[in-house]
A and B are shown apart, each in its own frame.
Chain A
Amino acid sequence: QKEVEQNSGPLSVPEGAIASLNCTYSDRVSQSFFWYRQYSGKSPELIMSIYSNGDKEDGRFTAQLNKASQYVSLLIRDSQPSDSATYLCAVNMKGWDTGNQFYFGTGTSLTVIP
């Protein structure tokens, strides 16, 4: 069973719309949650981190965490063509046999259409 799951997409939204990206994670003692953006041919860059239930806003980005339902989402408001990239969800989990470890989803490809 995969630890972190994302819809691979591709997800297409028109410029100016809201892009919604979702991620679910397996039942472990999950501590921290992250969203990374990866442009083609580049390494991932951190967009948002969230540690507690609820919403966290940073500019056009809002991360939402629901530990009871084991999902974390990323909303991108006023989407721009420059937001077109692959978005990776990452969860820092501490398993009884592995210690702290980052688990990455397979990523969701987002295309913002001008």
Chain B
Amino acid sequence: GAVVSQHPSRVICKSGTSVKIECRSLDFQATTMFWYRQFPKQSLMLMATSNEGSKATYEQGVEKDKFLINHASLTLSTLTVTSAHPEDSSFYICSGGRNMNEQFFGPGTRLTVL
């Protein structure tokens, strides 16, 4: 299957700082990638759809000015959590696929905001 990587795998930051998470497709090109958030013992929640070369599409209730998504190339999408607060602490996961019939997940990034 296709490989998706994420970096960093774990980050701890102070409240008010910004954190950037990278999602890379290693062996395929992804026109579309997805960003999810998962709180402990809860299901995946789709945050936004990242589209290469255009603006991301955000799900209802997700602040686009707080969660900045950039999909500058067919192999890289980034999520920046701006002015992070403790309630933003979560497991952030990206996914991508060679086509819309497949989605492979990155290993996830665990964000802890102190």
Contact pick for A44, options B46, B49, B105, CB 8 Å: B105
The total of Cβ contacts below 8 Å across the A-B interface reads 44
Q: In the docked arrangement, what's the CA distance between A44 and B93, Å? A: 9
Contacts of B104 in A (CB 8 A): 46
Given the known inter-chain contacts A43-B93, A105-B43, please indicate yes or no for A90 contacting B103, CB distance below 8 A. yes
Determine whether the beta carbon of B105 is less than 8 Å from that of A34: no
Contact pick for A107, options B43, B93, B100, B110, CB 8 Å: B43
Q: Is the interface of A mostly helix, strand, loop or mixed?
A: strand
B67 at the interface (CB under 8 A from A): no
Q: Which B residues are within 8 Å of any A CB, using their own CB? A: 1, 34, 43-44, 46, 49, 91, 93, 95, 100-108, 110
Q: Which A residues are within 8 Å of any B CB, using their own CB? A: 31-32, 34, 36, 41-46, 49, 51, 88, 90, 92, 100-102, 104-107
Beyond known contacts A43-B91, A92-B101, A100-B100: 17 more, CB 8 A cutoff: A31-B101, A32-B101, A41-B91, A42-B108, A44-B93, A44-B105, A46-B102, A46-B103, A49-B101, A88-B43, A88-B44, A90-B103, A92-B100, A102-B34, A102-B95, A106-B43, A107-B43
